[in-house]
Structure 1
Amino acid sequence: NLDLLEDVKIINQWIPDTEIGRYFQQCDLLVLPYTSASQSGIIPIAATFGLPVIATRTGGLPEQIDHGLNGWLVPPNDVDALSAAIEEAITHPEEAQLRGKRLQKKYQTQFSWEKNALLLIKSLEKAHQAGGHA
């Protein structure tokens, strides 16, 4: 039971945008046990702070996290797998920090504004060359 651990704080409420940074700066690990989700806007925020993330393998979350490389993915509703991932992250903090830094790097490179702008420009150029209108 996580409530028995002195250093674990579970926050299950809406957090205003103005307070988000404070919470993420205090985190060592972010756990997102979604039963279903199309994507998560929380994962990019965690990446900004270099936080390791454990999430469920549902919806678009596997596109955001590469299991074993920059985070952990577990099956939805699998309490044993979720517990094992949390235990691994807690007992191997250096590995957890490394995964958080890798997630940060992924978001800085693959999901940057610059990269998305270049992809948009290339798509528009391709459409224009094919006779379409941009």
Structure 2
Amino acid sequence: MGVVTSIIHKKINEEENTILFFGRILEYKGIDYLIKAEPLISEKIPNIKIIIAGSGDFSKYESMINHKNHFEIINEYIPDEKVSELFQKSSVVVLPYIEASQTGIIPIAYAFKKPVVATDVGSLSEVIVDGVTGFIVPPRDSKLLADSLLNILLNKNLKNSMGSAAYEFMKENMSWKGIAQKTIGEYQKLLGNFEKPRYLIGSLQ
């Protein structure tokens, strides 16, 4: 698992029905859509907990939260040992972004065998196999975000199978070894398609 293994300091048990948003608090991360999704989730799962962990200005979101008992807000810089704890205790990781290019959150979630629900922005959909390692939903849609999270949380077998698939995807595609093998493969394709200049062919025969 490369660098990710270095942040696993101790074993923490998963806490049932726990959703994790992890990362800096920035407007493009779509936290308001996650907050709006909470009542739709807690209607079906009364003991739901949403952890929002990261540094940044959270003040604009405070008034949006109607059921504070369903939220755990950790509005500060998160040290490595706390990162490990948060991902281990969560059931599913959510990225409700309204825009993005890429993120380092998904590989960490996969390393801890956590399914991911993310929006179809930037390159996020390239590292989520929809219905296999998690779900991809449209941005700015709290209803579909809630539905996908509920689908995972209400189906333990699905959650576990997605977590295992996510871990295997990470090992194959996101580890340094996997990246190196893919890079070598691409170079081999290029070299295989390389056509020698005609003026050299005669001299090599």
TM-score (norm 1): 0.83
Residues 79-128 of structure 1: per-residue CA shift (max 9 Å, x gap): 111011011111112101211110110110122212322343452893xx
- Name which of 80, 97, 106 aligns with 1:43: 106
- The aligned counterpart of 1:68 is 131
Q: Which moved more, 1:2-11 or 1:76-85?
A: 2-11
Equivalences for 1:70-89 in 2 at 5 Å?
70-89=133-152
How many correspondences in the alignment? Answer: 130
- The aligned counterpart of 2:80 is 17
The root-mean-square deviation of aligned C-alpha atoms, in Å, is 2.5
- The aligned counterpart of 2:16 is none
Q: Which moved more, 1:35-44 or 1:9-18?
A: 9-18
Alignment pair present for 1:112 and 2:170: no
Report the Cα distance in structure 1 between the residues aligned to 2:148 and 2:79, rounded to whole angstroms: 28
Contact 2:171 2:178 in 1 (8 A): no
Report the Cα distance in structure 1 between the residues aligned to 2:138 and 2:50, rounded to whole angstroms: 23
- Using a 3 Å threshold, how does the CA distance of structure 1 residues 121 and 84 change in structure 2: closer, same or farther? closer
What is the Cα deviation at residue 69 of structure 1? 1.3
Residues 31-80 of structure 1: per-residue CA shift (max 9 Å, x gap): 11011111121000000000011111111001110111111010000111
Residues 2-50 of structure 1: per-residue CA shift (max 9 Å, x gap): 6894440322423233421011111111111011111121000000000
Letter aligned with residue 166 of structure 2: L
Letter aligned with residue 47 of structure 1: Y
- For structure 2, the residue ranges without an aligned partner over 5 or more in a row are 1-38, 56-77, 197-205
Report the Cα distance in structure 2 between the residues aligned to 1:50 and 1:8, rounded to whole angstroms: 19
